[in-house]
Amino acid sequence: MSYHEQHLKNLKDGSLFFGDAFIDGQWVSKDKKFDVYEPSSGAVLGKVSDCTLEDFQKAIASADKAQRSYFESTTGSSRGALLKKWNDLILENQDDLATILSLENGKTLGEARGEVAYAASFIAWFAEEATRSYGVTIPSSIPHTTLMTIREPVGVCGIITPWNFPAAMITRKVGPALAAGCSVVIKPPSETPFTCIALTRLAVKAGLPAAIIQVCPTKDRQAATELATNPLVKKLSFTGSTGVGKKLAGLATGTLKKVSLELGGNAPFIVFDDANLDLAVEGAMFCKFRCSGQTANRLYVQKGVAKAFTEKLVKAVQALKMGPGLDPSTTQGPLVNKAAVEKVKEHVEDAVSKGAKIEVGGQASMTSGFFYDPTVLSGVTPEMVVSKDETFGPLAPVFEFETEQEVVQLANDTEFGLAGYFFSQDIARSMRVAQKLQVGMVGVNTGKISAAEAPFGGVKESGYGKEGSLYELSVTQEPIMSSTQNGGRTHKIASIPGDGIGIEVIEQTVQVLRTIEALFKSFTLDIDTLDWSSKRYLEQGEYIPADGWQKLKASDAILFGAVGSPDVPDDISLWNLILPLRKKLNQYINLRPIRILPGLSAPLKNCAEDDLDWIIVRENSEGEYAGQGGTTHDDTPYTIANEVAVFTRVGIERTMRFAFDVARDRPRKKLTMVTKSNAQRHGMVLWDKIFYEVAKEYPDVETDKMLVDAMTVRMVLKPKTLDTIVASNLHGDILSDLAAALAGSIGVAASSNLDPTRKNPSLFEPIHGSAPDIAGQGVANPIGAFWSAAEMLRWLGEGAAAGLLMKAIETVTASGTRTRDLGGTCTLAQVADAVILELQRSFSAARNGVRFVTCLSKMARSFFKLNTGALIPALGLGTWQSAPGEVKNAVSYALRSGYKLIDCAFCYGNEDEVGEGIKEVLDSGAVKREDLFVTSKMWCTFSSRVEQNLDMSLEALGLDYVDLYLIHWPVAMNPNGNDVKFPKRPDGSRDLDLSWSHIQTWKQMEKLIGTGKVKAIGVCNYSVKYLEELLPHATITPAVNQIENHPYLPQTEIASFCRSRGIHIMAYSPLGSSGSPLMKESLVEAIATKHGVSPATVLLSYHSLSSPAIISPP
């Protein structure tokens, strides 16, 4: 048994080694094959299918067809999950993959195992990056317009890889493409195709859609031309020689496809005289002799250490043991083929003929296989071939240099610029040389520079583009820009209240939707109410008028209440309204989310909220409700009724695929199918068959099957074992009603009747009936209708609005606001009001930063006039509650949004950040300095150094003046207490004179007027007592008194006193979050509720009546 046969026999999974192509989701064995050689012996390792250009064209067309479906049917998270499974399988099969890699490439087993782990790291990294495909929003110069970009995959990626890294080169290119949602067509190297084929087998096993990866081995060089010129290929990624890369880049311009090229390297490896030589030799061995030397090339060593370095390098090379890669004692394997051996031999002979000396090696001592002895040459000079051409073999040419300038020039004297390495312990030199080397990557004191998260790629003629890292992911995507006129989205809704309580719950649902519409202002709901009811049927003999279908077809969605009347048989309303809607509008999926809402108790004993979380997918167009059958011998004792259930492969398969997609997107990834195939021997058996067929395409989804009668028991006894459930029309109808009751009440359950093709409007309805026994009493439960409306919003693409509504529903049910079917006492209207109030509250809380700005336009006045004649803006941003690190952004955002007043103080410790925010806005030109009003403060106890303290604030703010300068408090503050910003003397002690009164401070502040450093002066937190002390001594009356002022701290006495003296009250309100005590004051909350606004708006309106207000948002 030969060397390779013995090792192939020992593979744990022998199916990984085979030579088929993978085209259009099928493994293809071609009649024409080519040989792949085992390099340590030169023997044929195996035969591989040799694909034709027609095969490539078929593969590209298949990949193009599969790509759009792959992207649209997956999310970044689900693509990441598939890649993680592939990564896991690669690592599980590391030994087998390493064996195959070593047998076809010649690497040692240790190196091969390392490469497999390295290859897996790219899949693992891009599995995470798949979830981070972010777009951006862009400020628009057009009013009321939003610009944004989203990232979409480019399409089919053509991939051509070399033989020196058979695993890692595949995953480094394929990983980002699959993460982005692209498909790939791979041309693996003809020298080492088995590793690529094995990796593909594991990818398919991991559940990646088969046609997303196409592998076409070939020896036909025209295949690369096909990938470069085929218009269906949108990106070409190539690693190989510069000559071939240039030709492919030229060909790719014909279809303007994206191109990533990693080409020739000829990397310089520099050792300076201050380097750690042992570390440098270790780096040289890694760079020059891994992969049998088929990597970096030129070694430059400074003359002072050249001899010592060469001796150490020779000693390390002599310790290498050549042999077959899988021999445990081997540390240097063979080259990939005979041509590689001949190239090394030619380079050595050329160098020796021109004066180089062989220090070790220099021959091919092994007679079998493709070996060349590891070689070190000294005395190498620039005119030798090895200086200009990549050897790609175990040859280390040592060049000597004298100066840093000389070696940088030598290193850069090439058309290549992939990577460079140098060793030096001089930090300044390291920074200097790293910047001067004309390469795409630099390793300083290391030869290891490649990692999944690091961009890999060169400059000059070593290619362009970066592989690995987030840069490669962005290259496999296109930024798509959209311009949206705010409020421009209009959704046309056909509302069919129907009968009984359907009319009542839909009326309240429309009010809820109108509230959401008013809050978001980003979309409009055009709701057309249609009176298609049993009353209409009784009067006109029809539910749906002649033009009804045309109206529905023009709608984006249908909101349905309930239908049914004691005066009309149930089968009439069912077959004349409900079923026609589903059938004619192709609503072949009924989707019912089932879970216990917060605060509700399920009838099941010991069943917690998390125990019951299901999605029921019901086939909605055929089966038992197909309407087939009839009666004979009517009105006789022998009457026969036939009810025919109709099941089609098309109907079942599309339902199964939808259910599997739903299950895949849920955390548990579990799907249970319900049938009665033991008794219904035809239709239900077909259900079983198709279920198991489709399941093969979803290996990541756990599956099981239940008979419908057993399912009812399982739903009651073992609810936690279920997740996504798929059932036929009748079974789904029954089971979903049972499920709703188990979740607490049929009145809270929602339902969606969907046309997944989106060619027709989908219908959303609560699952309860018209309940004529309680109709008109106002006691119906509207939660099911509200939940259905949330599902409608989500289906229409208004995810944020849907989420807000569901959160409001859950908050209300948790609060105990319930109708009587849930054990409560509330009316329908009271529940609806509670949901509306919660929508307003939670929306305000979530967007309070925006609401503050919105309130600007609603305020009665924009400015107030001070006693100095200056105008002070009516609303400003206070920075005293802002967290460190957030102040700059808050100030910048406020100024750009319309605030013109910024309030700060040196003692807040954030004036540097305030200044950065102001500078950013001023530099952008968005606001002029003369349009800003900046207030700062100082303590009254800073001795006579008032002007110096102002200068400190101005320096921190980066301003020449402040508009208003205040005494912060009229009394001495503890300098060792909670304020750490007191100025210090040069010796570090605090400069504080407790005898220095606020009157003396004011007299010093008066001297600031006229210096140009302040426009006005005032006080802060002054009571009537301190103002009465100050004013008799003041030459200048304070322009303002800044005090806390709001409805529960009205400060009427001080406000009246100040007005009588010409001093403006400047109110500050620590609004904080919506959960702060101030926001919960009953008066504020009551006013806010009455007018449908936030508590913050109430307070701002209060301030706007008489004074400027400083607000500190969270």
8 A C-beta contact, residue 453 and residue 468: yes
The C-alpha atoms of residue 1042 and residue 183 are separated, in whole angstroms, by 64
Closest-CA residue to 126 (of 177, 85, 89, 170)? 177
**pLDDT score at 527:** 95
**pLDDT score at 983:** 46
- Does the 602-628+647-743 domain belong in CATH 3.90.1150.10? no
Q: What are phi and psi of 143, to 5 degrees?
A: -60, 145
Q: Is the pLDDT of residue 1081 over 70?
A: no
Residues of the chain with CATH 3.40.605.10: 3-133+153-262
Q: For 580-595, give the DSSP string.
A: HHHHHTT--EEEEEEE
**H-helix or E-strand containing 91?**
helix 76-92
**pLDDT score at 900:** 80
Q: Is the pLDDT of residue 975 over 50?
A: no
b/e code 467-485 from CB counts within 10 Å (16+ = b): bbbbbbbbbbbbeeeeeee
Residue range 976-1023, pLDDT digits in tens: 433 334 444 455 554 444 445 788 889 889 999 989 999 999 999 888
**pLDDT score at 1083:** 46
The C-alpha atoms of residue 191 and residue 63 are separated, in whole angstroms, by 25
Structure tokens at 188: 């693996």
Query: Using 50, 70 and 90 to split pLDDT, how confident is the model at 157?
Result: very high
Cα dist from 846 to 780, 804, 832, 839, 886, whole Å = 31, 10, 21, 10, 18
Which residue has tokens 């909670």?
978
**H-helix or E-strand containing 726?**
strand 724-727
Radius of gyration of the chain (CA): 39
User: Kindly report the CA angle at 852 between 1067 and 850, in degrees rounded to 5?
Assistant: 160
For residue 5, give every residue at least 6 positions away whose Cβ sits within 8 Å of its Cβ, in sequence order, or none. Answer: none
Per-residue pLDDT, averaged over 665-683, amounts to 90
**Total Cβ atoms within 10 A of residue 1053:** 10
Per-residue pLDDT, averaged over 1070-1084, amounts to 43
Per-residue pLDDT, averaged over 369-394, amounts to 93
Burial of 1009 (0-12, 13-18, 19+ CB in 10 A): middle
Which residue has tokens 């990624």?
237
- Does the 494-593+748-826 domain belong in CATH 2.60.40.10? no
**pLDDT score at 1077:** 41
Q: What is the dihedral of CA 72, 493, 809, 672, to 10 degrees?
A: -40
Local structure of 972: helix, strand or coil = coil
Highest mean pLDDT among 112-121, 565-574, 872-881, 931-940: 112-121
8 A C-beta contact, residue 1069 and residue 1099: yes
**Total Cβ atoms within 10 A of residue 34:** 16
Per-residue pLDDT, averaged over 127-134, amounts to 89
The C-alpha atoms of residue 448 and residue 416 are separated, in whole angstroms, by 19
Query: Using 50, 70 and 90 to split pLDDT, how confident is the model at 797?
Result: confident
pTM (whole model) above 0.75 = no
The C-alpha atoms of residue 859 and residue 875 are separated, in whole angstroms, by 9
Query: Using 50, 70 and 90 to split pLDDT, how confident is the model at 1066?
Result: confident
The C-alpha atoms of residue 601 and residue 938 are separated, in whole angstroms, by 59
The C-alpha atoms of residue 49 and residue 27 are separated, in whole angstroms, by 10
Note if 262 is an active site residue.
yes
Mean pLDDT estimate for the chain: 87
Structure tokens at 229: 């010129």
The C-alpha atoms of residue 968 and residue 939 are separated, in whole angstroms, by 5
Q: Is the pLDDT of residue 132 over 70?
A: yes
Could you write out the three-class secondary structure of 514-569? HHHHHHHCCEEEEEEECCCCHHHHHHHCCCCCCCHHHHHHCCCEEEEEECCECCEC
Residue range 394-438, pLDDT digits in tens: 999 999 999 999 999 999 999 999 999 999 999 999 999 999 999
Closest-CA residue to 674 (of 587, 739, 735)? 735
Local structure of 1114: helix, strand or coil = coil
Residue range 681-732, pLDDT digits in tens: 898 999 999 999 999 999 999 999 999 999 999 999 999 999 999 999 999 9
Residue range 548-563, pLDDT digits in tens: 999 999 999 999 999 9
Q: For 370-439, give the DSSP string.
A: S----EEEEEE-TTSHHHHS---SSEEEEEEESSHHHHHHHHHSSS--SEEEEE-S-HHHHHHHHHHS-S
Class of domain 268-438: alpha beta
Q: Is the pLDDT of residue 333 over 60?
A: yes
8 A C-beta contact, residue 1024 and residue 1049: no
- Contacts for 223-228: CB closer than 8 Å, 24+ residues apart: 223/51, 223/53, 223/56, 223/187, 224/160, 224/187, 224/248, 225/251, 226/53, 226/56, 226/57, 226/60, 227/56, 227/60, 227/158, 227/160, 227/185, 227/187, 228/158, 228/252, 228/257
Query: Using 50, 70 and 90 to split pLDDT, how confident is the model at 1090?
Result: low
The C-alpha atoms of residue 1109 and residue 1114 are separated, in whole angstroms, by 16
**pLDDT score at 495:** 96
Burial of 642 (0-12, 13-18, 19+ CB in 10 A): exposed
Fold of 3-133+153-262: Aldehyde Dehydrogenase; Chain A, domain 1 (3.40.605)
The C-alpha atoms of residue 996 and residue 971 are separated, in whole angstroms, by 9
The C-alpha atoms of residue 863 and residue 866 are separated, in whole angstroms, by 10
**H-helix or E-strand containing 863?**
strand 863-865
Burial of 182 (0-12, 13-18, 19+ CB in 10 A): buried
8 A C-beta contact, residue 1066 and residue 1058: no
CA 727, 729, 734, 736 dihedral sign is: positive
Residues of the chain with CATH 3.20.20.100: 848-1111
* Catalytic-labelled residue, pool 262, 400, 472, 619: 262
The DSSP symbol for 482 reads: E
Query: Using 50, 70 and 90 to split pLDDT, how confident is the model at 822?
Result: confident
The C-alpha atoms of residue 174 and residue 204 are separated, in whole angstroms, by 13
Cα dist from 193 to 217, 328, 332, whole Å = 7, 24, 22
Query: Using 50, 70 and 90 to split pLDDT, how confident is the model at 1061?
Result: confident
CATH number of 848-1111: 3.20.20.100
The DSSP symbol for 648 reads: -
Q: Is the pLDDT of residue 296 over 60?
A: no
Residue range 823-838, pLDDT digits in tens: 888 999 999 999 998 8
Which residue has tokens 């070409």?
236
Beta bridge partner(s), residue 48: 34
Strands (DSSP E) found in 951-1011:
964-967
Query: Using 50, 70 and 90 to split pLDDT, how confident is the model at 280?
Result: very high
Per-residue pLDDT, averaged over 1024-1052, amounts to 81
**pLDDT score at 644:** 85
**pLDDT score at 473:** 79
Query: Using 50, 70 and 90 to split pLDDT, how confident is the model at 274?
Result: very high
Q: What is the dihedral of CA 602, 661, 177, 49, to 10 degrees?
A: 140
Q: In what order do the strands lie in the sheet with 21-23?
A: 26-28, 21-23, 213-215, 183-187, 156-160, 233-239, 258-262, 463-464
Residues of the chain with CATH 3.40.309.10: 268-438
Residues of the chain with CATH 3.40.718.10: 494-593+748-826, 602-628+647-743
**pLDDT score at 1089:** 59
Beta bridge partner(s), residue 236: 158, 259
Residue range 462-517, pLDDT digits in tens: 988 889 888 877 888 887 766 555 545 789 999 999 999 999 999 999 999 999 99
Question: Which bin fits 415, alpha (ψ -120 to 50), beta or left (φ > 0)?
Answer: alpha
The DSSP symbol for 632 reads: E
Residue range 838-870, pLDDT digits in tens: 888 877 655 443 333 333 333 334 566 777 777
Rounded percentage of the chain residues whose pLDDT exceeds 90: 59
Query: Using 50, 70 and 90 to split pLDDT, how confident is the model at 184?
Result: very high
Residue range 335-345, pLDDT digits in tens: 999 999 999 99
Local structure of 677: helix, strand or coil = coil
Q: Is the pLDDT of residue 1031 over 80?
A: yes
896 vs 174, which has greater pLDDT?
Answer: 174
**pLDDT score at 1093:** 55
**pLDDT score at 979:** 38
**Total Cβ atoms within 10 A of residue 507:** 18
Local structure of 334: helix, strand or coil = coil
**pLDDT score at 1050:** 59
8 A C-beta contact, residue 1073 and residue 845: yes
Structure tokens at 841: 């509250």
Q: For 1076-1089, give the DSSP string.
A: SGGGG-HHHHHHHH
